[in-house]
Amino acid sequence: MSEQKPPFVPSATPPTWLGVMGGGQLGRMFVHAAQAMGFKVAVLEPARDCPAGQAADYLLSASYTDPVALNQLAGLCAAVTTEFENVPAQSLAQLAAHSFVAPAAANVSIAQDRVAEKRFFTECAATSHVLPAPHKVIENEADIDAIPDDLFPGILKTARLGYDGKGQVRVRSRDEARKAFQDMRSVVCVLEKMLPLAYEVSVLAARGADGESAVYPIAENVHRDGILFSTTVPGPNVSAECARRAQHAALAIIGKMEYVGVLCIEFFVLQDGSLVVNEMAPRPHNSGHYTIDACITSQFAQQARAMAKLPLGDVRQHSPAVMLNILGDIWFENGSPGSDMPREPAWDKVLALPGANLHLYGKDDPRRGRKMGHVTFVAPTLTEAQENFACACRILGIPL
């Protein structure tokens, strides 16, 4: 490994600046964590009124590819990160000519393309001991004719720009796959075999500029309509052996990439107990929000440490936790936006519950499926946290 350059230590005079590409809620929570450590934070985001921009010390309102804005961000900030994976990798490469960028453009580009991601996971299997689901890359109609019969039923996913269930269609036959491919305008896709899923877990790992790595406790996730609904840590179904295998795989993957920053990797646990790697996000993750209230070092503080070349923080969890994702649906009666005007949910009743930690993202336009915030319940026991989670769902009209 090359000689390690000094860290970017927080300073008041002159201030030490960190930069974020992207203005969403992940950027907002990163801003809060970095500011608490003494950094100033600049955000580059096209939208002027964005969650991260509301909290940032400086907002550059420009396209992610704007050369003037990129040069300004690089000139101001000692280090730059991204808050979502679809920031153009070329922009990150341009920033890297003047600033330390973590994660690197090469790492982000893998996560931006399901084909590259599946290939990379397969290459890692010799050390991670975990493979992706059986799959086939679909680039044209001829590839559909060549799909092995045993890949059906499957899920056809666009290779790029799919998230929260978008760009995905379940297909039971070759004809359905052909129609779905045409409906997706024949862009490059990946067909994944549907597997007998028991539950889903995610592993949050971090790697510093010095090559040291850390892995958080395993999170067990529940999704609804392709969007994360809840995260429970420790996972009630996660065995010690499953946790060990998933954490080992995550550390192998993050090491193979020579990654710097926070990386979230999602796994499927099948009914026979085997583990399948699904996808990764080169950034803090929705399923890692529990770390803000339940761990010594939150995922956002960890990201700031890694990109500033500081030592990684302690990842110990001090309290069992259950995180509830808050979508815009609950601003409307019966969760169905229609002609009725939105009304604010009963946050006072939610906050009356023991161990409730409310995080709203500064968005003033609730819409169905839009992430508006989250509530994390911490408690001395997992049972207590789960009970308070259930009470909150009843208060907010969310079916269990």
The reply to whether 114 sits in an annotated binding site is yes
289 annotated ligand-binding residue = no
Residue 22 marked as a ligand binder: no
Reduce the DSSP state of residue 340 to 3 states and report it.
coil
Does residue 23 have a known ligand-binding role? no
Ligand-binding site membership of 119 (annotated):
no
Residue 157 annotated as lining a ligand binding site: yes
Q: How far apart are CA 179 and CA 174, in angstroms?
A: 9
Of 279, 86, 286, which is closest to residue 192 (Cα–Cα)? Answer: 279
H/E stretch holding 267 reads strand 261-270
Q: Is 195 annotated as a binding residue?
A: yes
- Cβ pair 113, 136 in contact under 8 A: no
Residue 361 is classified by DSSP as -
On whether 165 is known to bind a ligand per the annotation, the reply is yes
Q: 223 labelled as ligand-binding? A: yes
Are 103 and 261 contacting, i.e. CB atoms less than 8 angstroms apart? yes
Q: Are strands 213-215 and 197-207 parallel, antiparallel or unpaired?
A: antiparallel
Nearest partner of 262 among 225, 226, 228, 295, judged by Cα = 295
Residue 338: strand, helix, or coil: coil
Annotation-wise, does 163 bind a ligand?
Answer: yes
**Cα(256)–Cα(271) distance, rounded to whole angstroms?**
29
Nearest-angstrom CA–CA distance, 311 and 297: 12
The count of residues in the chain is 400
Ligand-binding annotation for 192, yes or no, is yes
Q: Is 4 labelled as part of a ligand binding site?
A: no
Is there a binding annotation on residue 193?
yes
Residue positions in the annotated binding site for ATP? 114, 157, 162-168, 192-195, 200, 223, 278-279
Residue positions in the annotated binding site? 114, 157, 162-168, 192-195, 200, 223, 278-279
